[in-house]
Copies of this chain bind each other. A is one copy, B any other.
Amino acid sequence: MREVRARPLQVFVDRLASHSPLSQEECEAVLSLPSTAMKVPARRDLGFTGNTSHSAHFIVSGLVARYSLTRNGARQLTAFHIPGDVADLYSLVRPGGVAPLHAITETTALCIPHEAIRRVAAAYPAVAEAFWRHCAIDAATVMKWLVNISQLPAAERMAHLICEMAARLGTEGLPAISFDFAVTQEQLGDALGLTAVHTNRVLKALRNEGLATMRGGKVEIHNWTTLAAYAGFNDTYLALETHNSSSPHANDLANAIR
């Protein structure tokens, strides 16, 4: 833990501004939020005391998973968080019901005290709404995972997750067709509700079908259109680039697929 260099929250502001219109002053208010940096090695939880939280965690770098455990030890991942996300912004309104966060790769995060966030949200309604929307997009993603896990066969679920990560990691409204995604097959299975064995078989099938390859922590999408069609992927729920989009046609393209 150490005090942080100038403007570390710029990426967060960019993310908020991508889905919510914010004035210069409002951006400044978010940028000036106090924060403390923490570095978490791979395969460790970001520490909470118990399951009660007093600060939110902004992801600067790394890959983080939110998860839940069941009685019999089964693990279900409920989100992947990438740089620019505040992994547990919802903890502001549900401090006693936070799910644990696990650093999949080495992660740098900024802890932002709830009171500071609440102060900014109270002073700037548009910022409060942006925070709320940030949470709502996360909720929409969870709902999509619910529908997919419940209704899609394993291979389509896998393809959909790959599309989702590609869309989120992409820039300028275009999905990333090649990106780092350093999850093990077991973690991937925990996200998709599959065993590691079946995850392996599904990845093999996607590879053989020429849709996507996932190996050594990297994803290669062979043909975005084909993969997205196979997965039934439509990026609307991610609310990417609805404001100030420099390439609005990209969304149209993705939407047209389905």
User: Using a CB–CB distance below 8 Å, which chain A residues touch chain B?
Assistant: 68, 70-71, 74, 76, 78, 90, 92-94, 96-97, 99, 118, 121-122, 125, 128-129, 131-133, 135-140, 142-143, 145-147, 149-152, 193, 232, 236-237, 239, 242, 258
Shortest Cβ distance from A256 into chain B, in angstroms? 15
| Chain B residues closer than 8 Å to A122, beta-carbon distance | 125
| Chain B residues closer than 8 Å to A121, beta-carbon distance | 125, 128-129
Residue of B nearest to A90 (CB): B136
This protein's copies in its complex = 2
Q: A96-B236, A97-B140 provided; 4 other pairs, C-beta below 8 A? A: A94-B136, A118-B129, A125-B128, A149-B193
From A118, A131, A143, A232, name the one whose CB has the most chain B CB atoms within 10 angstroms.
Answer: A143
Shortest Cβ distance from A248 into chain B, in angstroms? 14
Main secondary structure of the interface of A (DSSP, over half): helix
| Chain B residues closer than 8 Å to A135, beta-carbon distance | 132, 135-136, 139
Task: Find out whether the CB atom of A70 lies under 8 angstroms from the CB atom of B142.
Answer: no
The verdict on A237 contacting B125 (CB below 8 Å), with A76-B147, A76-B150, A143-B78 known, is: no
| Chain B residues closer than 8 Å to A242, beta-carbon distance | 96
| Chain B residues closer than 8 Å to A236, beta-carbon distance | 96-97
The verdict on A149 contacting B152 (CB below 8 Å), with A70-B232, A135-B132, A143-B78 known, is: no
Task: Find out whether the CB atom of A232 lies under 8 angstroms from the CB atom of B71.
Answer: yes
The verdict on A99 contacting B137 (CB below 8 Å), with A121-B128, A129-B93, A232-B70 known, is: no
Neighbour of A139 across the interface among B90, B145, B232, B258, CB < 8 A: B90
Bound Cα distance from A86 to B143, whole angstroms = 17
Bound Cα distance from A34 to B16, whole angstroms = 30
| Chain B residues closer than 8 Å to A239, beta-carbon distance | 94, 96-97
